[in-house]
Structure 1
Amino acid sequence: MSADAELRRRLAEELAAAGYLRTEPWRYAVEAVPRQKFLTGGFFEQVPGSVPTAWRPVLPDADDWLSRCYADESLVTQIAGTVVPGDIRGEIMRAPTSSSTMPNLVVRMHEELRVEDGHRVLEVGTGTGYSTALLCRRLGDDLVTSVEVDPDVSLRAKNALAACGAHPNLVVGDGLLGHRDGGLYDRITVTCGVLTVPYEWIEQTKPGGMILATVCGWLYSSELARLTVQEDGTARGSFLEGQISFMLARPHTPPPIGLLPDLGGGEERLAAYGPDILDDWTARFVAQIAAPKVQRLRLSLDDQDHHVLLDAETGAWAVLTQSAGKWEVRQSGPARIWDDIEDHITWWHTDGSPALERFEITVGPDGQRITWPK
């Protein structure tokens, strides 16, 4: 057995033992698809202790490159929208924009998709193409369509897929619009985060078909939703257990904050909660239902911490400060951000603070609605 075949077998065993890999067809796919083919340009590793985060390249000539290709971790393959590992000698301090998702999440999503033989699948976000290759191995090339917004990323994935003998329908375009020419689909799977599930996906999925997508907000609490499309043109579902994070779809990324407003203005009152309530993953997700486009930052002014929440699109803001052991909030703009967040968190607490997997999500022509049981 070759070295990479042994690594594939070990990865499959690890994923099966952890409960991510549950069925034989997907185990066969994991053991058959060489992940290193999708990382021939190398990947970036985080520089330990760097603030802000710095990244350095790991290229195929590194002694541990092959074994690291089979580590159960996400491997960053592009930074700042254009920079790939071969472009760098040294370090870079910019944000990642593309990666090879950790195998346990790829496999878990494929298992949760509940595909059957003959199903037609749309994948939103081709990335390196590794996830696409697993779909091709499971279903056959003709039943897989994958959309990628970045033409260079799509081309690299196409070459890697061809090297593995896979030739799905690869499309360069805005995956938030789906791909009508390939539908109707039995399943849609999404490898990026979205603020709201686009209705185009529902329109392109057969009634009874499923959509798997990670719903997020700009406070960066996210959950994987599985929706079933109904005969009435809506889709309904719930969130799966476990904290799932993906890079946001590029059109859904937050705008630059720019100049801060005058934080000395606005209306002031005592706050029912301090900003530490947002350290809890589920409470933060609830806050995002109230304010999905609010960004959070912390400033130190006049030897005092200021916890700022800002909607850069509308100009609404709130700032929390502590005085004599109590939290105070000052707010201004077209909305009262902290009022809305406090109201939602109080309702959630009143209803017993249900876990996220008990929340329900509905998407229709009039938009998206997330609720929890009363």
Structure 2
Amino acid sequence: MSPDEQRAALVAALAETGALNADWAPSFTAVPRHAFLPDTFWADESGGDTECSRSSEPERWMGLAYCDVPIVTQWDDGGGGPRIFPTSSASMPTLVAEMLSDLDARPGQRVLEIGTGTGYNAALLAHRLGNDMVSTIEVDPQVTAQARSALLGAGYTPEVVCGDGSLGWKAQAPYDRVISTVSLRLIPPTWVEQTRPGGVIVSPVSPLFGSGAVVRLTVNDDGTSASGRFTRSSAFMLLRGQRYRGEPVEKYLPGEWPGDSAQSWTKIDPEASIGDDWLAQFACALALPDVYCRRAEFGEGWTWWFFDTAVTSWATVDSVPGKSRFDVRQSGPRRLWDEVEAAYDQWVAAGRPGYERYGLTVTPTGQTAWLDEPDNPVSR
């Protein structure tokens, strides 16, 4: 098939699943995704990122450009050496379409996009709303230049800015809509300030503990806060300024494990109950925004480590296949596993709610996650 035919097939598939609505279908039909992809990229095939070069595999390259898969376009912030962390990408078309549907941007509305990436999403916005109504900001100078070139080559000229997306872009504020294509732990109050009352902010949120989901916030009438529900699961790269690198274990545990920890037992296997369930992770993450975890191999299973960001407390749980109870060690003023277990039990008792029952309220002083209604916070 020709690229046009492949693009038409992708659009038809997205429409059939309900991901792509009628408002956005013309833009997906008109904007060539392949025009925003580099000659070499890494596509998510069979659970792994496989390299593909247009010069050596042109048919496969074009086919992947119009598959419903995410494509990595940069590793390790563009540094050389072995590829470790993906740091820029073309998002999965299904998620692109769903997030634009969440955004509900309409002609006549001004939009700010955080995280230009390849420029493809900005082109979709520019096609529907007009070039003059779209600003997009990208922190990486090289990625910015490539996106600007790709946009121009495809015939689109939205405002492309190289800068820190967490600050928004005051020059064109206020916006009717703000959309982020990078994930955050904390939604910046600046985005709320730069959005009109009644305006909408759509962003992936990736809590420190794990998992992630897209939130759709509406700015209140006086423009000081925004609140709304999560709409769907997501997995995006974090905004660079909100990446978190935990302290080494030695900062928490001087000397040999188990140190001064207290021993107890739990019937909850963190590997099976939390590690294998994104919703459970998400519920625990919202309840414990200052707790993060790591896993380390332990015999036939795993040891789960839990830490607080204040570097005061830690806990471990040994997940061993076939066991009915699991060894717990906890140290510090907080009993972190007890807190995780309580958050998990709270989620189970609520009927294992999905993403759509959770919401977020953002104010000038921070953010609060809630279940069902804003007056029912889940933070512990």
Change (3 A) 1:305 1:158: closer
SS class of match (1:194): coil
Map 1:47-62 onto structure 2 (within 5 A). Answer: 56-62=51-57
Query: Which residue of structure 1 lines up, in the alignment, with residue 227 of structure 2?
Result: 236
- Superposed counterparts of 1:184-263, under 5 Å: 184-232=174-222, 233-240=224-231, 242-255=232-245, 258-260=248-250, 261=253, 262-263=256-257
Q: Is the 8 Å Cα contact of residues 273 and 327 (structure 1) preserved in structure 2?
A: yes
Tell me the residue number matched to 2:268: 273
Q: How many residues align?
A: 362
CA contact (8 A) 2:44 2:69 kept: no
Q: Helix, strand or coil for the counterpart of 1:135?
A: helix
Match of 1:306, as an amino acid? T
CA contact (8 A) 2:44 2:71 kept: no
CA distance in 2, matches of 1:31, 1:117: 18
CA distance in 1, matches of 2:247, 2:281: 20
Q: Which residue number corresponds to residue 25 of structure 2?
A: 27
**For 1:20, what is the secondary structure of its paired residue?**
coil
301 and 155 in structure 1: CA distance in 2 versus 1, 3 angstrom threshold: same
- Separation (CA, whole Å) in 2 of partners of 1:301 and 1:16: 46
| TM-superposition CA deviations, 1:41-76 (whole Å, max 9, x none) | 321246979xxx775352344232122211111111
Q: Distance in 2 between matches of 1:207 and 1:226?
A: 14
SS of aligned partner of 1:193: coil
| Structure 1, unaligned runs of 5 or more | none
The answer for the alignment partner of 1:298 in structure 2 is 295
Instruction: Give the structure 2 partner of residue 139 of structure 1.
Output: 129
Change (3 A) 1:11 1:48: closer
Distance 1:257 1:58, change over 3 A: farther
Question: Which deviates more from structure 2 when the two are superposed, residues 131-140 or residues 253-262?
Answer: 253-262
TM-score (norm 1): 0.89
Question: What SS does the corresponding residue of 2:181 show, helix, strand or coil?
Answer: strand
Measured in 2, the distance between the counterparts of 1:46 and 1:234 equals 37
Equivalent-residue separation in structure 2 for 1:48 and 1:371 (angstroms) = 35
Q: 2:149 & 2:300 partners in 1: Cα distance? A: 55
Match status 1:7 vs 2:1: no
TM-score, structure 2 normalization: 0.88
- In the other structure, the counterpart of 1:332 is 331
C-alpha separation between the residues in 1 aligned to 2:97 and 2:303? 42
Alignment of 1:120-135 (within 5 A): 120-135=110-125
AA at the equivalent of 2:118: T
> The residue matched to 2:183 in structure 1 has which SS?
strand
Contact persistence 1:60–1:66 (CA under 8 A): no
Shift of 1:313: 5.6
292-301 vs 242-251, which moves further: 292-301
Contact 1:127–1:153 (8 Å) recurs in 2 = yes
CA contact (8 A) 2:298 2:318 kept: no
CA contact (8 A) 1:188 1:211 kept: yes
**Contact 1:79-1:96 within 8 A present in 2 as well:** yes
Counterpart-to-counterpart distance in 2, 1:116 and 1:44 = 33
| Rounded Cα–Cα distance in structure 2 between residues aligned with 1:292 and 1:246 | 18
Give CA deviations for 1:85-122 in whole Å, capped at 9, x if unaligned: xx89xxx4411111111111111111121111100000
Among all aligned residue pairs of Structure 1 and Structure 2, give the percentage whose two residues are the same amino acid: 35
- Name structure 2 gaps, 5 residues minimum: none
Q: Distance in 2 between matches of 1:46 and 1:352?
A: 33
SS at match of 2:18: coil
**Within 1, Cα distance between the matches of 2:207 and 2:54?**
34
Q: Secondary structure at the match of 2:353?
A: coil
State the 1:346 CA deviation.
Answer: 2.3
Structure 1, 276-285 or 295-304: larger mean CA deviation: 295-304
The separation in 2 between residues aligned to 1:156 and 1:304, in whole angstroms, is 44
Residue 295 of structure 1: how far off its partner (Å)? 3.6
Whether the aligned pair in 2 keeps the contact of 1:46 and 1:56 (CA below 8 Å) is no
Query: Could you say which residue in structure 2 is the equivalent of 1:349?
Result: 348
Out of 98, 111, 116, which is 2:106 matched to?
A: 116
Matched residue type, 1:238: R
Amino acid at match of 1:367: G
Moved more, 283-292 or 226-235: 283-292
From 90, 97, 109, give the equivalent of 1:100.
90
Taking the aligned partners of 2:139 and 2:235, their CA distance within structure 1 comes to 19
Structure 1 residues 259 and 340, CA gap change in structure 2 (3 angstroms) = closer
What does residue range 313-324 of structure 1 map to in structure 2 within 5 Å? Answer: 314-321=311-318
